[in-house]
Structures are given as structure tokens and as C-alpha cells.
Chain A
């Protein structure tokens, strides 16, 4: 559940995925593309050879008509297999997840293993994986050996999660992915948190407030 404190509501979103699938790139592009009322800097904790060791953090926020401050904190996990403990710690308390898969054909096994590890870790840190707002993004669509979209859609046809096809390096569909997650997040939490009724935030207002589009 999002963290409620007087005057503010904080959602924790996590970008999860196999090593070097483009989680940090997603965050960097979002920082460039989004223009919400409040936007912090991307805090990169620690990297080694361009690979995340701890996590990255992008804070965003906007103020609802009721005066409630809606805050989003976007985290990335380290993708390398060895950092499973860190991944689990970052994943805990997540309110929504973007799974960033690598579209390259030779990464299919890694994608599968990372997805399974995400499901396992969700159970271990006490997240309800079945009901967790989750978007699956297939990144690096520009790769020549990318698995075709129709094939991926076929394969995921029976899965309940929305699919996005992105190229984070070129900034393509990064915001769309984020927006898809925002909508899931709103639908999941609006009622219990009385976002519409008490705070006057509709789904559109929620999305617009965080993307920063002029309404």
C-alpha cells in the first residue's frame, strides 16, 4: 500500500528486469520527458561500468486540488543475478512494477528467469503478485535480432499484464509505458484511497499531473 502521511501520499514504483535491459535508461528518459509540478533529480546510487549496483531513484510529484501531495518514487533494481538480495530489498513495499525485458532473441532465457525471480521475490517480500499493478515492457525494439512483436504478443496472449514495446535509448514509448502503469496504479488504489471522492483526482488528472501534460 502507498505510504500515507499527513498531507502526502507516496507511491513506490520499481523498474525490474534482467541485467542491461534498460531500466536506468527508462528512468533517465522519463526525467527528460516528464514535466510534473515537482520533479527531482535522478539519484544514481552507485554504478560500476555503467551497471547499477544499488538502485536509481527518480522522485516526482504533484499537488491535488484537495492540497494532498501525490509523490511517486521510481526505483530501478540491479539486474545482475548476483544482486538478488538487493533486488529483493528494493522490490519490497513496491506499489507497482514495470518489468523491462530485453527484446533480443538471445535474451529470452534471461527474461524468463528474471520474470520468475520477480514473481518469487514478490512472494518473499509479501507482495500480492496476482494483483500487483504490473506492465511488461519489451525494450530495445531497434535491435536487428529483436523478437517480432506479433510473436511476443502471441506468447503473452494469456497473461493478464499489458505489454509495451519501447526503445528507451531513443526515448520511444518510455512515457507510454509509465502512463500504462499510472493508469493501473490509479485503478488499483483510487477507491481504497478515495482519490476521486475526497481529493478530487480523476484518472486523467492523476495521469496528467504526473506526466505534466497541459490539460
Chain B
């Protein structure tokens, strides 16, 4: 679109086209009592008949003639008056043209400004979009890093709890090992006595008496029975350990959660501190598709938490473990009447790394790990606790979760 400059100097022929001149010429000629002609500023006729010798009157728009009005019939006075009238018309036309051209120019300018603004907005929007994309990327990287760290800590916690378990096991195994070793030593002494008997068989009765073989005969079956008992205990502890850590089973299995609870309880009972009692009230449960190794660990760490809460309270107490199946789900409740948690502690209990224990005594991952495992089983874990009253952990598992 070409825009006419609003400030151009108009020529008469530009202001009035042939049709306009043809409309205005005849009445002008009439007023001028005969003939009239309208000339451009260079004297060339635009309308009418140019009669030689006719008078001409300049038509000035600004300071120079833009054209001429010519008539041979009119008096100078009439011609001047008609020219003034005609100039008024021309000026009005020029003003109208200038105003509309300026309006158009201004609108175009405003539009250009708007386009410029628009382009600037688009550019800034693009900048922000890029920034937000980068932000998402950066957040994704951070999240990945966090997840990796969490995974590492989770593994570390798992290793730590397995290590703790192993330490408990070792302690427990040492006990039966001790008396089995001691019994075997005694049996070796007894065998020495039999060896000493051989050369003295002549005076058999006296020797029998001297070596007190009556007692040996009497005590040996006891020792062997003791050893059998000890070995059985070792075997059971090892079996528990294997079952607990699930080294011998696939990750996912159909399992009775009561069995998992019993495993955890039996492992913990071995190292139960004085003044703490474990009470179990396990009702029949349907089998669950689950990862028993992980659940064992959850139950173990929840029971251990209860025991620690009782120890922290400074008085004797008990941890109650209850399980039951409802039509909707499987429910497990662990209650201790230990020290309890404050509202602030309760609110942050599931936060990773949050711990109330001294540095080195807890990673603060117990409950957060437990929750992760339970969520992975489609379950729920909730806590209720009052300072000085104790803590109750509620677990719910949907039936037959895969």
C-alpha cells in the first residue's frame, strides 16, 4: 500500500478530478455570466474553453498559485469573488486530503509500532519458553541425581540392616556354639578316661570306680542331647537368616504376611533387651503376592523402632503385633508403649534422613524405606503417636496384590 505524504503540496488537478471539475465548471461559468475555464498552475486548461484575452485570477492554496480561474465574460470584481469562493473549496479539499493522509500515516505508524511490540513480545516469549524448557531439563537431571542418591542410600540402609542382623545372628550362634564346644571338650576328657581304663581291666571294678565311669555314662547322653539342641538352634537361626534375607527364594512370591511377621519376631527375639516384651496376636491371613524379603525387613525395622522407643522411655514396656484380614484388606498393627513422638517429629517421620538419634546411630531411612516398600506393595502406612504414650503403626495391604 502506498501512502500519500500528508504534507505534499497539492496541485489543482489532483484535488479536483475531471468529474468534479465538470460538476463545478458549469455553475461557475453561469456565475461569471458566460464563459469560464480552470487552468493548472502551468497554465494548461483542466476544464472549460480558454478564450484568448480572457482575464485570469490566481487560485492560491498556500503561498503560490495552484491554478487559475479564467473568464472573458466576467467583470474583474466578479472574477475575484468567484476565485475566492473557488479557493475556499480547494482549501477545504486540501485540508480533507491532508487530514485523511495524515490519519492513514498515523495509523500505519501505530500499526508498525504495534508490530514491533508484538515482535518484541514474541521474542521475549520465546526466551521464556526456552528458559522453561531448560528448567525442566535441569529439574529432570536433579531429580535423576536425587533418585540415584536415594537408591544408593536405600541399598546402604538395606546392607546396614542386613549387617545388624548378621551381628545379632553371630551373637546368637556363639551361645550354642559355646556350649557345644565345651561339651565336646568334656566328652574328650571322658574318652581319655576310657583310654586309661584299658590297661587296668584286670582290676576292672576298682578302676571303674577310680575313673568314676558311672558318672561318665550318666552325663554323656546329657551332653550329646545338649549338643543336639545347640546344633538344632544353630540350624534354626541359619534357616531364619536365610528365610529373612530371602537368599534362597525368588523376589516375588506368594506368602503369608504372618510368616513374615514371625520371621521378624524370631530374629528380633534373639536379641530382645531386658524389660521389653513382644506380644503377637496373629490371625489367619490369605496369602499375598509380595516380596517377602522386603516385607521382613519392614516388619523387622518397625519392631526394632518399637523396642528402641521403649528403651528411650526408660521403663519396661511391650510391643504388640497384631494382624487380621478384613473383607477389604489385610491389616497389621504394631503398637509400643514407648516414648512416643512430638507433633513435629510425627510430621517429619517419613522424611528421608530425618532422625532423632545421635549421628551414627541411625540413618533416618528406616521409616522412609519402610514406606517406599509398602507403597510398592500398593499398601498404606500411617502413624499415630503421643509423647509419653507410645506409637501405633497401621499397615494396610490390598488383597492379592501383585
Question: Which chain A residues have a beta carbon within 8 Å of chain B's beta carbons?
Answer: 8, 10, 12, 38-40, 43, 45-46, 54-55, 57, 59-61, 69, 71, 73, 75, 83-86, 88-90, 92-93
- Closest 8 interchain pairs by CB? A85-B106, A89-B105, A59-B62, A85-B110, A38-B63, A85-B109, A86-B106, A40-B62
A17–B109 CA distance with the chains assembled, in angstroms:
19
Known interface pairs A10-B9, A12-B7, A84-B110. Does A89 touch B102 (Cβ–Cβ under 8 Å)?
yes
- Cα distance, A10 to B103, chains bound together (Å): 23
A-B contact pairs, 23 of them (CB 8 A): A10-B9, A39-B63, A43-B95, A54-B98, A54-B102, A55-B102, A57-B62, A59-B62, A71-B62, A71-B64, A73-B7, A75-B7, A84-B109, A85-B107, A85-B108, A85-B113, A86-B105, A86-B109, A88-B109, A89-B6, A89-B102, A89-B105, A90-B102
Who on chain A is nearest to B94 by CB? Answer: A43
Which chain B residues lie closer than 8 Å to A89 at the CB level?
6, 102, 105-106, 109
Q: B5 on the interface (CB 8 Å rule)?
A: yes
Cα A59 to Cα B61 in complex, Å, equals 10
Q: What's the minimum C-beta distance from A12 to chain B, rounded to whole angstroms?
A: 6
How many angstroms between the C-alpha atoms of A54 and B105 in the bound complex?
A: 11
Q: Is the CB of B63 within 8 A of A60?
A: yes
Q: For window 128-162 of chain B, which residues contact chain A by CB distance below 8 Å?
A: none
B99 contacts chain A at the CB level, 8 A cutoff: yes
Which partner residue on chain B sits nearest A73 by CB separation? B7
Q: How far is the CB of A16 from chain B (nearest CB, A)?
A: 15
**Contact A38/B106 with A45-B95, A75-B7 known, Cβ cut-off 8 Å:** no
Which chain B residues border A73 with CB–CB below 8 Å? 7, 62
Q: Which residues of A contact B63 (CB under 8 A)?
A: 38-40, 59-61, 71
A-facing residues in B1-21 (Cβ within 8 Å): 5-7, 9
Known: A40-B62, A54-B99, A88-B106. 20 other contacts (CB 8 A): A38-B63, A39-B63, A43-B62, A43-B91, A54-B98, A57-B7, A60-B63, A61-B63, A71-B62, A83-B106, A84-B110, A84-B113, A85-B106, A85-B109, A85-B113, A86-B102, A86-B103, A86-B105, A86-B106, A93-B5
Task: Report the minimum CB–CB distance from B110 to chain A (whole Å).
Answer: 4
Report chain B residues within 8 Å CB of A85: 105-110, 113
Contacting pair B64 A38 (CB below 8 A): yes
A-B pair number, CB within 8 angstroms: 65
Q: How far, in whole Å, are A38 and B6 apart by their CA atoms in the complex?
A: 22
Bound CA–CA A88/B102 (angstroms):
10
B residues apposed to A, CB below 8 Å: 5-7, 9, 60, 62-64, 91, 95, 98-99, 102-103, 105-110, 113
Interface centre among B91, B106, B108 (most CB of A within 10 A): B106
The residues of A that contact B105 with a CB separation of less than 8 Å are 85-86, 89, 92
Most buried by B among A12, A40, A85: A85
B93 to chain A, nearest CB (A): 13
Residues in B neighbouring A61, C-beta threshold 8 A: 63-64
Contacts of B108 in A (CB 8 A): 85
- A195, B30: Cα distance in complex, Å: 47
Is B99 within 8 A of A45, CB to CB? Answer: yes
Residues of A within 8 A of B9 (CB): 10
Tell me the smallest distance from the CB of B94 to a CB of chain A, in Å.
8
What residues of chain A lie closer than 8 Å to B107, measured between beta carbons?
85
Complex-state Cα separation, A86 to B106, whole angstroms: 4
> Which residues in A have their C-beta under 8 angstroms from that of B103?
54, 86
Give the chain A neighbours of B95 by CB distance below 8 A: 43, 45
